[in-house]
Structure 1
């Protein structure tokens, strides 16, 4: 997301080392002037709550402690013009956003959607200027057989990590070994592995396996 379109609470991920990640779990656009949202946040509570109090658009919030240092936030916010442009890009299609929407450093966010390729193209075309979009994975809807929702690239990276001994104690393989196994850059292998491990850790903490 371009900086002008980022909410102050999302920019906090880059601006403060005590704020690491924010996941939008549920939302409800209740009118032109308000929106209700539920987030799961990994951050220092004092730092994060101070920012909530100082953000002018936030009309009401409640912050509660979760497990493993996570925070859960209910917030009623006043949408900006860029927020409305984002909502309009999606409401012009039949796409369904599948939570969470994850906000990461560098103004990045990841979102999984269910719908047609044509609708995805429509959203990309309707996004405001300055947004850059990367398609991470495409899968067919169907039974998951109880498997945790990793992308195919993430599954391949975890499998390669197992093959090279990355999870042995003591560790026998490195991120570079994983990258060589897959024929990709070391930074790309590390990124896939971190995302996969984060998904698996959250799934465990949420009681999904």
Structure 2
């Protein structure tokens, strides 16, 4: 099973209504659709916009497809629970996804520059069919490809690296201010300080890379 992240470049005319609002709004740069249910009579989405509710409320009010909504403040950003009159996706993109037999995974990110980030999962052949269909759906760029295994995607830790991170946390190496040392990590793992440091650095690199991707 394969996992692929794709960034689409959409024109404002072809964009989802929420995406058009992000493109037009000077005070909102991203809207991240965290989860959705398109099977309801009023399709429902939960999104996070990087602007306060005072900015998001008039933006959502102006969306013609919105049937009802509720907003929650998130320290300067906003969660938007939105019920829509219909679930909207560009027809050619929707057809490409439906014909390929793959699944779109949350989140979907709408950006102010007109691009959208999707992550898809499916068999190798299904994803190959998707790419063939996307040739007629608009410009896109594949940003990462890998085996699907966990929400962290390509974050892979060896058992020893995972143990090293757990020990580093337990001795206080990540406390602020730091209360533990790498020599303590090595002593607990029964290895040298330099070996412990290498294990922790590699584990950190895998975790951070997986988070960013």
TM-score of the superposed pair, with normalisation by structure 2: 0.59
Cα distance in 1 for partners of 2:88, 2:16 equals: 11
Change (3 A) 1:72 1:110: same
2:38–2:87 CA contact under 8 A, matched in 1: no
Bigger Rg, structure 1 or 2: 2
Shift of 1:13: 2.5
Q: How many residues are matched?
A: 151
Question: Paired residue for 1:10?
Answer: 19
Cα distance in 1 for partners of 2:12, 2:132 equals: 19
Cα distance in 1 for partners of 2:87, 2:45 equals: 14
Cα distance in 1 for partners of 2:127, 2:30 equals: 25
Question: Paired residue for 2:114?
Answer: 107
Moved >6 Å (runs of 4+): none
Shift of 1:14: 2.7
Instruction: Summarize deviations over 1:10-67 as a string: whole Å, max 9, x none.
Output: 1232322211211111111126x7421111111132222101111111111111112x
2:105–2:121 CA contact under 8 A, matched in 1: yes
The unaligned stretches of length 5 or more in structure 2 are: 1-9, 156-207
1:85–1:128 CA contact under 8 A, matched in 2: no
Q: Given the alignment, which residue of 45, 49, 68 partners 2:53?
A: 45
Question: Paired residue for 1:142?
Answer: 149
Cα distance in 1 for partners of 2:83, 2:49 equals: 16
- Secondary structure at the counterpart of residue 37 of structure 1: strand
Instruction: Summarize deviations over 1:125-169 as a string: whole Å, max 9, x none.
Output: 44595621111111122368xxx5578xxxxxxxxxxxxxxxxxx
More displaced, 8-17 or 35-44? Answer: 8-17
Supply the RMSD in Å over aligned alpha carbons: 3.0
**Per residue, is there more strand in 1 or in 2?**
2
TM-score of the superposed pair, with normalisation by structure 1: 0.60
2:146–2:153 CA contact under 8 A, matched in 1: no
Cα distance in 1 for partners of 2:149, 2:35 equals: 23
**Per residue, is there more helix in 1 or in 2?**
1
1:13–1:20 CA contact under 8 A, matched in 2: yes
2:105–2:119 CA contact under 8 A, matched in 1: yes
